[in-house]
Amino acid sequence: MTSALRSASCPRALVAAPPLLVIVAAACQSSSADRGAAPTAPDDARSLWTRHYDLDRTEPSLKLSPHRATYFTGHYSDQPNPASNPSPQFDLEHGELEFQCSIKTRLPLGLERRDGVPDLWFGYTQEGHWQVGQPSGPFRETNYEPEGFFLWPVREWGKWGPVALKALGVGVSHQSNGRGRPQSRSWNRVVGQVAVEFGDATTMLLRPWWRIPESVVNDENPDIDEFMGDGDLALEHSFQWLGFDLSAGALVRNNLDSHANRGAIEAWFAGPFLHPRLNWFLKGFSGYGETLIDYDHRQQTIAFGVILRDW
């Protein structure tokens, strides 16, 4: 499962992949609001989702920022997937190194940035699982996910006491592992986004999705929906304990099928470590689809390492 927790003030995923021509054309122009952007407000005056997706539109376009989590961990699985073994002549190791890098940027549309006009974002996430214990240390699995999405900031009408609907989005995601058959896995989705805040310390992201159909000849994983489900729900909470700034979160995914119920849950904790932008990071996973090659494989995993925050 591509971990999508917030990188500090950086919430879970949003999704879609615009055509290359749109990106090139958009990069050739900038909006009048970009050229005359207001000074950035102090971070402590901006809410969690506002900082992550610049909902108050104080940052320039084409600025790289965190998307999902960027981390490096040691990773252990109780039941590694034999189908994912990159070197079948050797035993698959239970332990491996895992990393994820994720960035995003807002594209300039050349439109006035006002209420009712969405922002167009492009994101890229890459996740790797490295069998360092095998001879030559091959990568067991690498997942690539370019995505693009339109995001509409929500203003005053989205508030109900401490609960605030901050943004709505829709886009397209492509995810694949770049391998040849029979180990090739890929899918394309239309993904919705509902971003909510509960007070000053808790965020929620609901992502329903619809898989874009493929031809029988080209479909490498026709039953992926049965295991990966129709969406996910992520929660994150920041808090203090013994004077330390900590955060915890969870993500749940399910196919909502009462007869053949499948899904996954991921939970994580993070806290300060050595540098203000570096945290220790502990996460656990149980279920199907931790990576694409494992979409139909059930396992329990635990990982511990470091995560980059607020970069």
- Which residues form the catalytic set? 174, 176
Would you give the distance in Å from CA 8 to the centre of its chain? 13
* CA 290 to chain CA centroid, nearest Å: 13
Q: Which helix (H) or strand (E) holds 263?
A: strand 263-273
Contact 118, 152 (CB under 8 A): yes
Distance CA 40, CA 58 (A): 5
- Cβ atoms within 10 Å, residue 176: 17
Distance CA 164, CA 227 (A): 32
Parallel, antiparallel, or unpaired: how do β-strands 298-308 and 202-211 relate? Answer: unpaired
For the range 297-303, what are the long-range contacts, defined as Cβ-Cβ under 8 Å and sequence gap of 24 or more? 297/79, 297/81, 297/83, 297/84, 298/79, 299/77, 299/78, 299/79, 299/80, 299/81, 300/77, 300/78, 300/79, 301/75, 301/76, 301/77, 301/78, 302/75, 302/76, 303/73, 303/74, 303/75, 303/76, 303/98
Place of tokens 């997937």: 81
Q: How many whole angstroms separate alpha carbon 206 and alpha carbon 165? A: 11
Per DSSP, the three-state class of 236 is strand
Indicate the pairing of strand 95-107 with strand 70-77.
Answer: antiparallel
Q: SS3 of 164, please? A: strand
